A and B are shown apart, each in its own frame.
Chain A
Amino acid sequence: MKHLNEEQLVLYYYGEEAEGRRSTGELSQGVEQHLGACEECRAAYHTLQRVLNSVDSFPVPERAEDYETRVWKSIEGHIGKKRTFSRWFSWRPLALAVAMAAMLVVAFYAGRTVRKPGAGVETADAGQVRERVLLVAVGDHLERSQMVLVELANASTARNGGKLDISYETRTAEDLLEANRLYRQTASSAGDVGTAALLEDLERVLIEIAHSPAAVSTKQLEELRAQIEDRGILFKVKVFGSQLEQRESAPVKGQTTL
């Protein structure tokens, strides 16, 4: 008798079919029949059940009785005031980019003026600070860009009369575009060719999104999606983001690029 593997047991526990859809019952019946007949698999499944049931004991702090009121009070100032809200959102990526660029400049001059050549270790520290600051900033920027790209990659006009409002994405892309230019220039100045190249690719896609109409037709959405897919930008951003995380967590010594 062929035993059930762990994946099958996990999918059965969660009521999922092997290909990722919710169970229609056929697969469940097969697994149930097997579990009824096979003591070994039954024991394995009971252990899995106990483990996963114990996860439910993970404690979540209770909220106060007036929690909902507090949440509402914290956001109600932004509800119904779209223009203010929009501005509040839109200045953040650019402001962050400007702040990061300013920090880089400070770190750069601190390294040149305070720590003179000869103090080798200290100069290396200043370089590392610059590098880390830029890593953080670019990492954040890529994550924000990724969210816009994922939204568009998953968007559909099917249930909206053949039109889709992407005004939020176009506005966000405009904001990201400004920040992207700053980071690309900084990366180029720092001699980090790889980062500059990625940001250049991203910039082209962000320009396309930013220049798109607020409401797109199916065809326009397909074209936009094709731009994203043709350049493989979503994949590149994800891979680069993972690499950045590794580089951030790696020891700082000996790193010379961004």
Chain B
Amino acid sequence: MEDSDSVAVARVKSGDGEAYRGLVDRHSRSVFRLAFRMTGNESDAEDVVQETFMRAYKQLHRWEARSSFSTWLYRIAANYSLDLVRRRKRHAEVGLEESRGNGEDATDVIRALPSTAPGPERLMISGHVQEKVAATLKELSQQERTAFVLRHFEGQSIEEISGALGLSSNAAKHSIFRAVQKLRRALEPLVGEAS
């Protein structure tokens, strides 16, 4: 995979714009998954995918063939997701943009979640474990969520995460710890019962 990524990048750099399509084909779904986990919103995730590939194209000269292309791409996607979520939050607070997700975006899992904890009988249903996971991820700070998503879902090392987020290794590590602690507090009663 990485070999074919390198070949595709080399072709793009030599002027073959069509070769970029191979990279889009190979990575757009995984970038979407990362973006959705980061933003919790389907249409935002779509925006992130589009913007990530455009930014990556523009900065292709910065990618070093010794590193993984997908890791580099995820770094761009993670940073843009972070940027987007912060802006959404800020704009929503001042009312500069219309409220999103008022029933139009049925797949907006996180925003559709109830804010109160479900009762014990509902917790027995496995779907509610998913809901609880989504709700807890929503409660994480953006830094915690980003660091956790990159570590847990994308398998990036703490070093890679610290580089991607411009943090020290220690700060990246503690963001992950805090995220795990919050998830543990929220999910332990459920998974304990399920086991």
Binding site for B on A (CB under 8 A): 6-7, 10, 14, 16, 19-22, 47-48, 50-55, 57-61, 63, 67-68, 71-72, 74-76, 78-80, 85-86, 89, 129, 132-133, 135-136, 139-140, 143-144, 146-147, 150-151, 153-155, 159-160, 165, 168, 234, 245, 248-249
Q: Are A20 and B133 in contact (CB under 8 A)?
A: no
Q: Are A143 and B187 in contact (CB under 8 A)?
A: no
CA distance A79 to B169 in the complex (A): 35
Count how many pairs of residues, one from A and one from B, have CB atoms less than 8 Å apart in the complex: 158
Counting CB contacts under 8 A, is B98 at the interface? no
Tell me if B's interface is mostly helix, strand, loop or mixed. Answer: helix
Counting CB contacts under 8 A, is B25 at the interface? yes
Q: Are B181 and A150 in contact (CB under 8 A)?
A: no
B-chain residues with CB within 8 Å of residue A133 when the two chains form the complex = 94, 96
Binding site for A on B (CB under 8 A): 15, 17, 20-21, 24-25, 28-29, 32-33, 36-37, 42, 49-50, 53-54, 57-59, 61-62, 64, 66, 79, 83, 86-87, 90-91, 93-94, 96, 107, 109, 126, 129-130, 133-134, 137, 151-152, 157-159, 162-163, 166, 169-170, 172-173, 176-177, 180-181, 183-184, 187-188, 190-192, 194-195
* CB-based nearest A residue for B93: A248
CA distance A19 to B173 in the complex (A): 9
Q: Are B157 and A16 in contact (CB under 8 A)?
A: yes
CA distance A54 to B96 in the complex (A): 37
CA distance A89 to B80 in the complex (A): 14
Q: Are B129 and A57 in contact (CB under 8 A)?
A: yes
Tell me if A's interface is mostly helix, strand, loop or mixed. Answer: helix
A-chain residues with CB within 8 Å of residue B129 when the two chains form the complex = 54, 57
A9 to chain B, nearest CB (A): 9
A-chain residues with CB within 8 Å of residue B158 when the two chains form the complex = 16, 20-21
| Given A48-B184, A67-B28: A143 touches B191 (CB 8 Å cut-off) | no
Q: Are B49 and A79 in contact (CB under 8 A)?
A: no
A82 to chain B, nearest CB (A): 8
Find B188's partner among A14, A51, A53, A78 (CB 8 Å cutoff). A51
23 interchain pairs, CB-CB under 8 A: A14-B152, A20-B159, A47-B188, A47-B192, A51-B183, A52-B180, A53-B191, A54-B194, A57-B126, A58-B37, A59-B109, A61-B42, A71-B53, A79-B17, A79-B57, A80-B15, A85-B54, A132-B93, A136-B90, A139-B87, A139-B90, A150-B166, A160-B64
CA distance A155 to B62 in the complex (A): 9
A-chain residues with CB within 8 Å of residue B152 when the two chains form the complex = 14, 52, 55
B-chain residues with CB within 8 Å of residue A48 when the two chains form the complex = 180, 184
CA distance A213 to B107 in the complex (A): 47
Q: Are A71 and B37 in contact (CB under 8 A)?
A: no
CA distance A85 to B29 in the complex (A): 24
Pick the most buried of A80, A85, A153: most chain B CB atoms within 10 A of its CB: A80
A-chain residues with CB within 8 Å of residue B91 when the two chains form the complex = 136
CA distance A52 to B24 in the complex (A): 30
Q: Are A10 and B180 in contact (CB under 8 A)?
A: yes
* CB-based nearest B residue for A129: B94
B-chain residues with CB within 8 Å of residue A51 when the two chains form the complex = 180, 183-184, 187-188, 191
| Given A10-B176, A54-B191, A72-B24: A147 touches B54 (CB 8 Å cut-off) | no
B-chain residues with CB within 8 Å of residue A153 when the two chains form the complex = 166
Sample of 19 further A-B pairs with CB below 8 A, known A67-B32, A147-B79 = A16-B158, A20-B173, A21-B157, A47-B184, A51-B191, A54-B194, A57-B126, A57-B130, A63-B32, A68-B25, A71-B53, A85-B58, A143-B83, A151-B62, A153-B166, A155-B62, A159-B64, A168-B61, A245-B90
B-chain residues with CB within 8 Å of residue A78 when the two chains form the complex = 54, 57
B-chain residues with CB within 8 Å of residue A57 when the two chains form the complex = 126, 129-130, 133
A39 to chain B, nearest CB (A): 16
B-chain residues with CB within 8 Å of residue A59 when the two chains form the complex = 109, 130, 134
CA distance A71 to B59 in the complex (A): 18
CA distance A51 to B159 in the complex (A): 24
